[in-house]
Amino acid sequence: MARMDRIRNGLGALASGGRAIDAQLEAGFDSPSAFRSAMARLLGQPPSAFKNGGLLRIDWLETPIGPMVVVADKRAIHLLEFADRKALARELKALYSRCKGSIGLGRSAAVDLLKEELTAYFHGRSAKFSVPLALHGSEFARSVWEKLRAIPAGETRSYGGIARDIGRPTATRAVARANGANRIAIVVPCHRVIGADGSLTGYGGGLWRKQRLIEIERQFLEAG
């Protein structure tokens, strides 16, 4: 978590238009190479790869269960992941390629709305998200993600149940893969999918977070 705080400070300095050396010092790294390496491990690219005014922008959000990295354009969210997710750098590289390197640092109006809705969510006021999403995946994967969004907060489904709901009862494994490929955590609630026996299954943000999100959402179910 201390390393994440340092990188967050560096990201903030870069997003404000600061020089790489200033961001390095703000983040508390002794050498430029250490800073570049840390940024590349987290974001998939060194600081020099990010442009001012990019088509997509990377930002940092704090939540009660850990920091999250968000990527958005002016209108929609393209990625929302916990900063310690192992697949984050790979996912960011894929977005970098998709937008042909037009990716920078900073916040958009879409992220402002997302922050408001996440705050309401974690404070137990609302589990509804209206922020527009840009879902990058196959037609099948998008059908799974839309079905996830239809699961009421406080309820869970099995992979097999999702497969039946989308009219593909034999596609349980494909549903599991689509669930794991979701790049927009919480808003596309892949944490609401559990094993057929009721056990928790793999979650990119960590099983402890999956358990915590399920517990948070029980209050919405109890409140009707």
Q: Could you tell me if 67 and 7 are in contact, meaning their C-beta atoms sit under 8 angstroms apart?
A: no
DSSP secondary structure of 39-74: HHHHHSS-GGGPPTT-SEEEEEE--TT--EEEEE-S
Structure tokens at 21: 């050396």
Q: Which residues are CB-neighbours of 97 under 8 A, at least 6 positions away?
A: none
Catalytic residue among 11, 131, 190, 193: 190
Task: Give the Cα separation of 149 and 140 in Å (integer).
Answer: 15
Count CA atoms closer than 13 A to 71's CA, side-chain side.
28
Output DSSP code: residue 133: B
Other beta carbons less than 10 A from residue 213's beta carbon: 21
Does the CA dihedral 56-24-67-94 come out positive or negative?
positive
Is position 190 annotated as part of the catalytic site? yes
**How many angstroms separate the CA atoms of 156 and 214, rounded?**
8
User: Annotated active-site positions, please?
Assistant: 190
